[in-house]
Structure 1
């Protein structure tokens, strides 16, 4: 089911300014204050529609001090949505905020200064991947009708909260009003998914079926989807989660095309990021050129240019990491060997599942001096990294690095492995995982 897939996804540039802000142009946003429950590397994440379309950047990455105190200042082209920990933020050039954010409890956040009122309201933003007002199943009631009533009541309460927010722009009000509607749509779709997962029963004791939910929900959601096709709302995560359903109820052809372009652009970027061969990447040029929406085309073009700027056959980008003893080590110190670099972090479940396979692969080549295995963690701090390495009694090259130092390698997701030949040239930017038989084959080919 489509929306079940969206929930499963839990595990894994701004180009058009609104009229009210167009005259302000670009400017700086300043955040300072204290964080609780964060690791030593923090990012103010872009949550706009360009979040994954543009190449990654370290411009909003910072390291708080031992007490969680921090200051970060970055440039923005206009108002935009961001995320710090689990707190959704709405920030505008010129905003200067003093904040306290507890990663484990977003509702305890405090905001003072220019831009505060919008972000106080944003503390209660529902989580789209948790089904919005359905709250990961918490609001699923005994019947579809009762569930529908519950989420509609929550949407109404949220609208009343928004009406009380005063020191914000009309654009913020417009976007957040649309968010409430999109959250309600998302909640209705998610009610069926979570309801079936929770095995709710009818009065006669038989399980509620998908049809029972659809009969109640579909007429409501169909009505909500009408006249809601608006590409400017793609900057809202929850709207992006439901827009492919919304456009089925019609809208202006140009608006429908712009929304479809976002989905096709996102799919293209995901495809491109799996490839390291420049000749194969060049084949994406016609597909990128076919994107009709200028902002999306520009963003995907930049991503393709970044991917093609460095890849198979290029000299490996050197970097400095630290080993278990705290000594600085360079990748180039292993030049002359075939290098298999495994990127991981303790918080990455799939990475940890690969560890036994990594150890087995490393063991296979333990007597071959022409191969070196580098276990490269991008954990935010040393404590969890060292604890994991020590608990597994892992040996060899166990290194830790700040992800921002790996810009050339375009590290978007992990687990990921890099393969470098004896001439210190990239052989594969996305090498086979340790669990794949192809990993040994790729290493053996470079040893010939």
Structure 2
């Protein structure tokens, strides 16, 4: 009888709330799911400036390697818009934004003027590719093949950088964002339209 008295609605609700908070704190996929829901509500929008605000710096020596050992340099990608995303499988904000990055990738998958480089910060191709396969994402996984300057990546995950066709930084933000928004898609199209 004592137990039934203690199990009031208030106690049950408090217990559920505590369980929810613990789930969000200790289960990365639960935190990512919550953040995805918040993205759908319109939070975590990437701030893009449609005016010319590119940062000119020589990034041509930066290189990335894929799982087969193929190396691609940013110098070789000049003339293309480059979407560069630093992420990790253990990072809830990275996982939260990944569906929107995948939608953006699908939007430009057949476009030879837009290149996606999904850079695994842990340099663990097997784990990163297993995540992509499990989610049925077709985005290419790379690791850094050398030092990455702070102007590109300061260590915060996720970090997304977009380079224009001249290799200049047009967008550089740390933190999760909804990259499938029409505003961001329009931003990519604007970068494609720029003359070299």
Instruction: Report the TM-score range of the alignment, normalised by the length of the smaller protein.
Output: 0.5 to 0.7
- Higher helix fraction (1 or 2): 1
Count how many residue pairs are aligned between Structure 1 and Structure 2: 147
Unaligned runs of 5+ in 1: 1-200, 208-273, 281-310
Aligned to 1:434: 179
TM-score (norm 2): 0.61
1:358 deviation in Å? 1.3
Aligned to 1:70: none
1:386 to 1:363, Cα distance in 2 relative to 1, 3 A: closer
Aligned pair 1:365/2:108, yes or no? Answer: yes
Unaligned runs of 5+ in 2: 12-46
1:443 to 1:206, Cα distance in 2 relative to 1, 3 A: closer
Report the 3-state secondary structure (helix = DSSP H, G, I; strand = E; otherwise coil) of the residue aligned with 2:129: helix
1:425 to 1:324, Cα distance in 2 relative to 1, 3 A: same
1:380 to 1:373, Cα distance in 2 relative to 1, 3 A: closer
Report the 3-state secondary structure (helix = DSSP H, G, I; strand = E; otherwise coil) of the residue aligned with 2:85: strand
Q: Distance in 1 between matches of 2:10 and 2:127?
A: 47
Aligned to 1:342: 85
Instruction: Tell me the alpha carbon deviations over residues 361-380 of structure 1, each in whole angstroms, 9 at most, x when there is no partner.
Output: 11112232211121111124
Report the 3-state secondary structure (helix = DSSP H, G, I; strand = E; otherwise coil) of the residue aligned with 2:57: coil
1:205 to 1:420, Cα distance in 2 relative to 1, 3 A: closer
Aligned to 1:420: 163
- Higher RCO structure, 1 or 2 (CA under 8 Å, sep 6+): 2
Aligned to 1:56: none
Q: Distance in 2 between matches of 1:370 and 1:439?
A: 16
In terms of Rg, which structure is larger? 1
1:445 deviation in Å? 1.5
Task: Name the Cα RMSD after superposition.
Answer: 3.3
TM-score (norm 1): 0.29
Q: Distance in 1 between matches of 2:148 and 2:139?
A: 21
